[in-house]
Amino acid sequence: MLKKKLLLLLLTSILIFTLTGCTKGTTNIVSTGVGHTAALKKDGTVWAWGDNESGQLGDGTTTNSFTPVQVKGISDVIAVSAGYVYTAALKKDGTVWAWGDNESGQLSDGTTTNSFTPVQVKGIRDVIAVSTEYAHTAALKKDGTVWAWGDNKAGQLGDGTTTNSSTPVQVKGIRDVIAVSAGGGHTAALKKDGTVWAWGWNEYGQLGDGTTTNSSTPVQVKGISDVIAVSAGGGHTAALKKDGTVWAWGWNGYGQLGDGTTRYGQFGDGTTTNSFTPIQVKGISDVIAVSAGYAHTAALKKDGTVWAWGWNGSGQLGDGTTTSTTYSFTPVQVKGISDVIAVSAGYTYTAALKKDGTVWAWGGNESGQLGDGTTTNSSTPVQVFNVK
């Protein structure tokens, strides 16, 4: 079982975008956390599986589940986001509900007590998108403003302070936002003019402003425009441009930037060198969605194939390899899956939604987060669930 004492860096929970991932109100159908996964069915119910130590599965227990269980007491949901050891959901009435760990006030119910079933987030309505991470949540309202609550040690709430908040606070100095993504200590937002802004933890340059200085208010990411989607990972950030190219910046210790350098390749640039400003991911084009995980990145191409790069110690790249020393500095195709319409990169695993409504997952499975009834890792996709 994954424990809350893991370092903040270990977290990522990323919004999963559909084919129109950059637009307001995009439905978040499947979301990967560290050790649990959440999925939204067509009927508006939420289902979850994997680690449940803090009640993040929402079934009223703290018992892990290796197969999907229904979240109790919630319906009419249009988006879901799995955080570190908690989960949040957006209902069609614009309210946000959350369950699981509440140590930093991330459930925003006026307490710091864990909840094993959904509680309404106080003080916010008219929400059109929600994103969770280690212990903070970010929400986009229909007026284009961003609000956040929970942990704020690195300034990731964007309110100009580093004080935790158990109620939503408005992110300062930013409007006209169309998408938001909470990462492992930082937050990123996409404005309707195609620019990207970020705030919070910046040790690895994940804010993209050319520095490694934390910022408690939004700063513009340098050297990138015409962006249509953004995803904040554990210590790096990825963006999709309207020309179908992917760009990344920040921590590249596992090659997650995809530029062909870094230690493990999460940038996809063929290196292992951190980058404080955006660099283009090599060897991939025609991308329609991107998701930044802890130390790997996944992308969906318009032909329905999934590609991934970075750390592969648990098989999260889906290329059939599993050794702890395996990683890829540039994108590799996920084997045995096609007709995909959405993808989400988690901590050591990845999930995808196919157009037939089936959910597939691969990578680490120590808490049952793949949802296949086992705790055995899989280096290729296994079928989990049907959201129809």
92-123 residue pLDDT tens: 999 999 999 999 999 999 899 999 999 999 99
Overall average pLDDT of the 334-344 stretch = 98
Q: What is the pLDDT of residue 324?
A: 54
Does residue 333 lie in a domain region? Answer: yes
Range of the domain at 187: 12-225+310-386
> Is the pLDDT confidence value at 1 over 50?
no
R_g of the chain, CA atoms, integer Å: 18
In the chain, the number of structural domains is 1
Burial of 243 (0-12, 13-18, 19+ CB in 10 A): exposed
Average pLDDT over the chain reads 91
Give the residue carrying structure tokens 């560290």.
34
Structure tokens given for 94: 């614009």
Does residue 204 lie in a domain region? Answer: yes
Q: What is the pLDDT of residue 2?
A: 35
Does residue 246 lie in a domain region? Answer: no
Q: What is the pLDDT of residue 5?
A: 33
Does residue 230 lie in a domain region? Answer: no
CB-based contact 37:369 (threshold 8 Å):
yes
Does residue 299 lie in a domain region? Answer: no
3-class secondary structure, 8: helix
How far is the first Cα of the chain from the last one, in angstroms, to the nearest whole number?
30
Does residue 109 lie in a domain region? Answer: yes
CA angle 160, 162, 165 (to 5 degrees): 95
CB-based contact 209:220 (threshold 8 Å):
yes
pLDDT in tens, 12-38: 333 333 333 333 223 489 999 999 999
CB-based contact 107:92 (threshold 8 Å):
no
Q: Report d(CA 282, CA 140) in Å as an integer.
A: 31
Structure tokens given for 175: 């409007």
Q: Report d(CA 187, CA 133) in Å as an integer.
A: 9
Share above pLDDT 70 across residues of the chain, in percent, rounded to a whole number = 89
Does residue 270 lie in a domain region? Answer: no
Does residue 171 lie in a domain region? Answer: yes
> Is the pLDDT confidence value at 314 over 60?
yes
Share above pLDDT 90 across residues of the chain, in percent, rounded to a whole number = 84
CB-based contact 134:151 (threshold 8 Å):
yes
Give the residue carrying structure tokens 């290196």.
271
CB-based contact 184:136 (threshold 8 Å):
no
Number of H helices, E strands in the chain: 0, 30
DSSP secondary structure letter of residue 171: P
Residue 14, C-beta contacts closer than 8 angstroms, at least 6 positions apart: 31, 32, 131, 181, 183, 231, 232, 233, 291, 292, 293, 344, 345, 346
User: pTM for the complete prediction?
Assistant: 0.91
pLDDT in tens, 197-230: 999 999 999 999 999 999 999 999 999 999 999 9
We report the CATH number of the domain holding residue 215 as 2.130.10.30
Overall average pLDDT of the 63-74 stretch = 99
CB-based contact 158:144 (threshold 8 Å):
no
Q: What is the pLDDT of residue 256?
A: 85
Overall average pLDDT of the 189-204 stretch = 98
CB-based contact 161:175 (threshold 8 Å):
no
- β-strand pairing of 65-70 with 46-50: antiparallel
